[in-house]
């Protein structure tokens, strides 16, 4: 009988369903495993072959866990509220609920084709009132704890989607759904106080060692905690000054550099505010502000590259040194970051530096960086000496080449250096040193760089530790004429001309490389920490010490700020959970009593957005007008709805207990099933995970859930690209549908191929030819059943047991590709040989998670009535993995010159004897200095030349 995937797959999918094979029961005595997919949003497009990749992985993983004896929870559901469903419904003129039902049906059919082991009795749907009742209930708990509040602060408004958006819904200042430029609009909003959890969301990332580092890093960026000082600069010379313009407050993370603040820069937004309160800015300033604000809107914050600004005609007093410095309006200062104004320290901030260069503003270095040498670190018990030196970059008289000063003896490649004599001009020192050490003697120019630093190192040629104050000099030669130099100097300096690129690449010491770059490419602040200079009483302190001291000195406040803002939680749209609040003229804001939950979405004729800032629900008077639960007086319902993120912020808890009518999850069941052991998905690196962690922590604080973090391990998949390497999309016409693949090649082939393509986390292009190779593997498996015999084939034991071991370990580690290739190795090995029945059964079991249909069919052919998917995972025998003879490489001086077959545990003498014969011609007449033998791996003869 040939391998007929069509018949087999349909047959078993039916049987599994009717026998409830994958139903999960709560069994407190058994150890559990909770394997969860990020549940999908059921779009109208249906699935392409990229979508199931994560579902296949969790299917394989959860099948392994079940076979290993775990009580396994592996559910699926639908995240079906939100703008896309609503926009789809409006466009196609059907009710969103109808559209969602239709889409879910289609999704389920497509998932069913692939033979997944979901327990469908636990299916949930965020738009089901029995589900969103609890979403509303959790919202009310947030409200009761003061974590949900109303606000009239201006929020982001998308004119196209006609709804408010949270900061997280923006992409570079544009609406992430439709790309429209977002406006600021003041309107009443519900907001969740996620900032109160910011520190815990940040710190508890440390509780998640099994999360990918890049996801954690993205979350840290998103939370954006930074510590710094709030400092006031008083203003003078403000035309039309009012109380609003007496002073300007800035936020800085570097108060230690305050003595180097040579100007203040304010955002166009703040300038506008000042104008509104009476500042009589000049015509030019006025025009600049208007233009900068307009650019923000037309180009978005992202689009503006060039830094521009204008002197505001105002002065500020630097509170550190009481110096009068100018105030500029600058487009690189943003209105909604920090206070909307900065103190600019061009010597130590890249952006301020760029601006200061452009407008010729003073640059004052106030931190002297200390470079601690890693190649020649200071030594204990050696004399410490202090000196002043120059580091000298020397430019060629004609070409763009520079002098490299190499030393064979000390193995370094650096610039020239030399000690400054008492009272000597650093440029003269530099010229003298170059004449003495290189011989070049005529100079066109020389200048001292506006950058000093300190080096701390051990000087091997003098045998002392050095702490040196460095002045940096750039010399340019007039011509190539050379004078006499001593032999001693010649031996010490191997002089050569190098291009700029070669210099940067070859210089062996970081400080010299930095000086070279500074001299030839222009200035850039560096991040070596250091001590203060030009800072009055604070000179000599380290940056860290000075930060708080200077903040105190100027009367500033040390504070913590976050990039993450409170979560704007209301949407002025129809298709979402109604916010369960009643507004009563007499009692104010009244939460809907628990007994009246859920507040169901009413039927409505027109669910298109109104654009007035009110949701379509506001027009349904019968629904809006209610009696106040308190005073029974006339009251109105809240008409805003929740954002799409609401339903997915707690759904993993509902799967534990999906039908519970008394609470969102039974406490006992929660304690048994928590936490999610493996969570698998692709999108949503930041927002969903942050929101979910936030709600979970909140529920933890109410003692409603029993763990601090919901997801122990996160596996983040790489997307499958189209065959042309682009994203699969209707637009490119490169979509491949699983339906077609399953029909032609079978679900098992598709599953196995998606696991075999490459590393799970990599984005890899689909390749149908490669997939056919996997189908060939399944056919060879099918053929193998003909050579099964009663007695085991001992020759296959080692490879079989190695395969069992590797497949189990690789699935556990989500290294599915190498698990599959190991099974291919086994089948190649078994090809043309007799396979013992017991061996065959073990192999079918380890293949079963990947290819559930064909293995089930082959299993039945052996006469079994019970499903293979209820079998347990085979145990490998460590003894059988061991082989009698193995081939190891024989090296001579690390190069492979032959090989030899040995027992893996052969003694060294035997190995050497056999090895010598194998590489005889390489050893003749040579002195054998050493032999390295690693049993089972390698034999290396080290010989003299």
Partner RNA sequence: GGGCAGGUGGCGAAAUGGUAGACGCAUCAGUCUUAGGAACUGACGCCGCAAGGCAUGGGAGUUCAAGUCUCCCCCUGCCCACCA
Binding to RNA (CB under 7 A) within 651-690 occurs at: 685-686
Asked if residue 317 binds RNA (CB under 7 A), the reply is no
Among left, alpha and beta (phi > 0; psi -120 to 50; other), residue 187 is beta
Helix count (H) and strand count (E) of the chain?
A: 29, 42
Q: How far is CA 16 from CA 223, 582, 641, in A?
A: 46, 48, 40
Residue 380 CB, nearest distance to RNA (Å)?
22
The tokens 């604080």 sit on which residue? Answer: 701
Number of residues that bind RNA (CB under 7 A): 91
Residue 235 CB, nearest distance to RNA (Å)?
18
Phi/psi at 857 (nearest 5 deg)? Answer: -65, -45
Asked if residue 302 binds RNA (CB under 7 A), the reply is yes
- 273, 307, 713, 737: which one contacts RNA (CB under 7 A)? 307
Residue 228 CB, nearest distance to RNA (Å)?
5
Residue 809 CB, nearest distance to RNA (Å)?
11
Asked if residue 294 binds RNA (CB under 7 A), the reply is no
Residues in region 268-287 near RNA by CB under 7 A: none
Residues in region 560-579 near RNA by CB under 7 A: 563
Among left, alpha and beta (phi > 0; psi -120 to 50; other), residue 335 is alpha
Asked if residue 912 binds RNA (CB under 7 A), the reply is no
SS3 label, residue 294? helix
CB closer to RNA out of 37 and 349? 349
CB closer to RNA out of 385 and 828? 828
Residue 543 CB, nearest distance to RNA (Å)?
13
Q: Which residues pair with 370 in a beta bridge?
A: 454
Residue 822 CB, nearest distance to RNA (Å)?
7
CB closer to RNA out of 397 and 412? 412
Phi/psi at 13 (nearest 5 deg)? Answer: -60, -40
SS3 label, residue 510? helix
- 188, 273, 351, 553: which one contacts RNA (CB under 7 A)? 351
**Cβ(850)–Cβ(752) under 8 Å?**
yes
**Cβ(691)–Cβ(567) under 8 Å?**
yes
CB closer to RNA out of 17 and 908? 908
Which residues, in sequence order, are CB contacts of 224 under 8 Å at separation 6+?
562, 563, 564
CB closer to RNA out of 214 and 870? 214
CB closer to RNA out of 103 and 331? 331
- 779, 792, 809, 812: which one contacts RNA (CB under 7 A)? 779
Asked if residue 223 binds RNA (CB under 7 A), the reply is no
CB closer to RNA out of 818 and 860? 818
Q: Tell me the torsion sign for CA atoms 162, 163, 164, 167.
A: negative
Asked if residue 291 binds RNA (CB under 7 A), the reply is no
Residues in region 82-111 near RNA by CB under 7 A: none
Please return the burial class of 27, using the count of CB atoms within 10 Å of its CB with bins 0-12, 13-18 and 19+.
exposed
Structure tokens at 596: 């009246």
Nearest C-alpha neighbor of 807 from the set 796, 790, 821:
821
- Distance CA(849)–CA(445), nearest Å, equals 75
CB closer to RNA out of 277 and 375? 375
Q: Tell me the torsion sign for CA atoms 626, 629, 633, 638.
A: negative
CB closer to RNA out of 349 and 856? 349
Residues in region 713-772 near RNA by CB under 7 A: 744, 756-759, 762-765, 767, 769-770, 772
CB closer to RNA out of 302 and 668? 302
SS3 label, residue 266? strand
In this structure, the number of other CB atoms found within 10 A of the CB of residue 428 comes to: 14
Residues in region 198-217 near RNA by CB under 7 A: 213-214, 217
Name the strand (E) or helix (H) holding 370: strand 367-372
Asked if residue 305 binds RNA (CB under 7 A), the reply is yes
Applying CB under 7 A, the span of 320-328, 592-600, 646-654, 814-822 interacting with RNA comes to 814-822
Residues in region 857-896 near RNA by CB under 7 A: 887-889, 891, 893-896
Which residues, in sequence order, are CB contacts of 17 under 8 Å at separation 6+?
none
Asked if residue 773 binds RNA (CB under 7 A), the reply is yes
- 439, 526, 899, 903: which one contacts RNA (CB under 7 A)? 899
Residue 173 CB, nearest distance to RNA (Å)?
8
CB closer to RNA out of 213 and 544? 213
Asked if residue 222 binds RNA (CB under 7 A), the reply is yes
Residues in region 407-446 near RNA by CB under 7 A: 411
- 23, 145, 831, 875: which one contacts RNA (CB under 7 A)? 831
Asked if residue 239 binds RNA (CB under 7 A), the reply is no
Asked if residue 774 binds RNA (CB under 7 A), the reply is yes
Asked if residue 928 binds RNA (CB under 7 A), the reply is no
CB closer to RNA out of 198 and 597? 198
- Distance CA(247)–CA(233), nearest Å, equals 6
Asked if residue 254 binds RNA (CB under 7 A), the reply is yes
Which residues, in sequence order, are CB contacts of 18 under 8 Å at separation 6+?
none
Asked if residue 551 binds RNA (CB under 7 A), the reply is no
Asked if residue 812 binds RNA (CB under 7 A), the reply is no
Q: Which residues pair with 369 in a beta bridge?
A: 530
- Distance CA(576)–CA(574), nearest Å, equals 6
**Cβ(538)–Cβ(546) under 8 Å?**
yes
CB closer to RNA out of 241 and 508? 508
**Cβ(633)–Cβ(627) under 8 Å?**
yes
Asked if residue 349 binds RNA (CB under 7 A), the reply is yes
**Cβ(863)–Cβ(820) under 8 Å?**
no
- 331, 543, 570, 749: which one contacts RNA (CB under 7 A)? 331
Asked if residue 224 binds RNA (CB under 7 A), the reply is yes
Phi/psi at 847 (nearest 5 deg)? Answer: -80, -20
- 18, 360, 925, 930: which one contacts RNA (CB under 7 A)? 930
CB closer to RNA out of 707 and 718? 718
**Cβ(675)–Cβ(653) under 8 Å?**
no
- Distance CA(674)–CA(656), nearest Å, equals 8
Residue 504 CB, nearest distance to RNA (Å)?
5
CB closer to RNA out of 226 and 385? 226
Residue 562 CB, nearest distance to RNA (Å)?
8
Asked if residue 449 binds RNA (CB under 7 A), the reply is no
CB closer to RNA out of 80 and 113? 113
Residues in region 156-185 near RNA by CB under 7 A: 171-172
**Cβ(9)–Cβ(748) under 8 Å?**
yes
CB closer to RNA out of 667 and 776? 776
The tokens 């003896």 sit on which residue? Answer: 409
Structure tokens at 897: 């010159």
Phi/psi at 823 (nearest 5 deg)? Answer: -65, -35
Asked if residue 940 binds RNA (CB under 7 A), the reply is yes
- Distance CA(102)–CA(122), nearest Å, equals 20
CB closer to RNA out of 301 and 704? 301
Asked if residue 252 binds RNA (CB under 7 A), the reply is yes
Please return the burial class of 732, using the count of CB atoms within 10 Å of its CB with bins 0-12, 13-18 and 19+.
exposed
Applying CB under 7 A, the span of 319-327, 426-434, 477-485, 932-940 interacting with RNA comes to 932-940
SS3 label, residue 764? strand
The contact pattern for RNA, residues 495-534, with x = CB under 7 A and - = no contact, is ------x--xxxxx-x--x---------------------
């Amino acid at each position: 009988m040939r391998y007929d995937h069509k018949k087999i797959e349909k047959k078993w999918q039916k049987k599994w369903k009717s026998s409830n094979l994958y139903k999960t029961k709560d069994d407190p005595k058994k150890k559990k495993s909770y394997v969860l997919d990020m549940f999908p949003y059921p779009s109208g497009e249906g699935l392409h072959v990229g979508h199931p990749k994560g579902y296949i992985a969790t299917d394989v993983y959860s099948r392994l866990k079940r076979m290993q004896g775990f009580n396994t929870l592996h559910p699926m559901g639908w995240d079906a509220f939100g703008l896309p469903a609503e926009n789809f419904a409006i466009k196609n003129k059907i009710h969103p609920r109808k559209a969602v039902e239709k889409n879910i049906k289609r999704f389920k059919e497509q998932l069913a084709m692939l033979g997944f082991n979901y327990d469908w009795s636990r299916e949930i749907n965020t738009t089901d009132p029995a589900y969103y009742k609890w979403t509303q209930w959790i919202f009310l708990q947030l409200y009761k704890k003061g974590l949900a509040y109303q606000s009239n602060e201006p929020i982001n408004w998308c004119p196209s989607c006609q709804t408010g958006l949270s900061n997280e819904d923006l992409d570079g200042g544009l609406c992430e759904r439709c790309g429209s430029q977002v406006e600021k609009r003041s309107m009443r909003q519900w907001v969740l106080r996620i900032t109160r959890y910011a520190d815990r969301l940040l710190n508890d990332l440390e509780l998640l060692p099994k999360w990918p580092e890049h996801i954690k890093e993205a979350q840290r960026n998103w939370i954006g905690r930074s510590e710094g000082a709030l400092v006031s600069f008083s203003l003078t010379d403000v035309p039309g000054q009012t109380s609003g313009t007496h002073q300007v407050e800035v936020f800085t993370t570097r108060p230690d550099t305050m003595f180097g603040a040579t100007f203040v820069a304010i955002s166009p937004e703040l300038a506008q505010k000042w104008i509104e309160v009476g500042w009589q800015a000049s015509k030019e300033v006025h025009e600049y502000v208007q233009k900068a604000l307009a650019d923000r809107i037309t180009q978005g914050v992202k689009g503006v590259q060039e830094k521009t600004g204008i002197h505001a005609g105002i002065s500020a007093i630097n509170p550190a040194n009481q110096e009068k410095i100018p105030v500029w309006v600058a487009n690189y200062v943003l209105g909604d970051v920090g206070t909307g104004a900065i103190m600019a320290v061009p010597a130590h901030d890249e952006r301020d530096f760029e601006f200061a260069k452009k407008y010729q503003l003073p640059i004052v270095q106030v931190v002297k960086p200390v470079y601690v040498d890693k190649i020649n670190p200071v030594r204990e018990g050696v004399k410490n000496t202090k000196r002043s030196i120059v580091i000298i970059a020397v430019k060629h008289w004609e070409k763009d080449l520079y002098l490299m000063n190499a030393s064979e003896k000390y193995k370094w490649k650096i610039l020239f250096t030399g000690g400054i004599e008492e009272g000597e001009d650093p440029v003269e020192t530099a010229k003298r040193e170059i004449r003495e050490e290189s011989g070049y003697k005529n100079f066109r120019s020389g200048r001292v760089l506006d950058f000093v630093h300190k080096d701390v190192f051990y000087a091997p040629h003098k045998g002392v530790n050095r702490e040196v104050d460095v002045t940096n000099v750039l010399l340019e030669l007039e011509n190539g004429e050379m004078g006499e130099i001593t032999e001693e100097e010649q031996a010490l300096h191997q002089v050569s001309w190098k291009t700029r690129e070669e210099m940067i690449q070859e210089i062996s010491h970081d400080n010299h490389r930095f000086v070279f770059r500074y001299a030839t490419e222009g200035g850039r602040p560096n991040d070596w920490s250091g001590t203060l200079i030009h800072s009055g009483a604070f000179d000599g302190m380290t940056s860290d010490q000075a930060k708080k001291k200077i903040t105190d000195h100027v009367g500033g406040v040390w504070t913590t700020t976050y990039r993450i803002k409170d979560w704007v939680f209301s949407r002025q749209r129809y298709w979402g959970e109604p916010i369960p609040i009643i507004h009563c003229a007499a009692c104010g804001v009244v939460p809907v009593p628990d007994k009246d939950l859920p507040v169901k979405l009413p039927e409505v004729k027109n669910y298109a957005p109104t654009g007035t800032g009110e949701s379509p629900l506001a027009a349904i008077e019968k629904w809006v007008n209610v009696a106040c639960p308190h005073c029974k007086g006339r009251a109105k319902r809240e008409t805003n709805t929740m954002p799409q993120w609401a339903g997915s912020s707690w759904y993993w808890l509902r799967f534990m207990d999906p039908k519970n009518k008394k609470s969102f999850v039974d406490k006992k069941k929660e304690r048994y099933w928590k936490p999610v052991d493996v969570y698998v998905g692709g999108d949503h690196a930041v927002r969903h995970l942050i929101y979910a962690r936030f709600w979970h922590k909140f529920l933890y604080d109410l003692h409603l859930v029993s763990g601090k973090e919901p997801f122990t391990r996160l596996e983040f998949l790489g997307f499958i690209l189209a065959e042309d390497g682009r994203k699969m999309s209707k637009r490119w016409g490169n979509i491949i549908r699983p339906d077609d693949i399953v029909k032609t090649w079978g679900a098992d082939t598709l599953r196995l191929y998606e696991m075999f393509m490459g590393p799970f986390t990599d984005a890899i292009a689909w390749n149908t030819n490669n997939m056919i190779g996997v189908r060939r593997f399944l056919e060879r498996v099918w053929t193998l059943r003909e050579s099964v015999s009663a007695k085991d084939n001992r020759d296959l034991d080692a490879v079989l047991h190695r395969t069992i071991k590797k497949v189990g370990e690789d699935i556990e580690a989500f290294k599915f590709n190498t698990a599959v290739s190991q099974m291919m190795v086994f089948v190649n090995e078994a090809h043309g040989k007799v396979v013992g029945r017991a061996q065959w059964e073990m192999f079918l079991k380890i293949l079963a998670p990947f290819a559930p249909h064909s293995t089930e069919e082959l299993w039945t052919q052996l006469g079994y009535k019970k499903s293979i998917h209820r079998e347990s995972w085979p145990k490998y025998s460590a003894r059988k993995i061991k082989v009698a003879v193995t081939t190891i490489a024989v090296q001579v001086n690390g190069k492979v010159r032959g090989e030899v077959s040995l027992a893996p545990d052969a003694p060294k003498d035997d190995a050497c004897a056999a090895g010598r014969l194998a590489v005889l011609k390489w050893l003749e007449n040579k002195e054998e200095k050493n032999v390295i033998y690693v049993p089972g791996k390698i034999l290396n003869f080290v010989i003299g030349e």
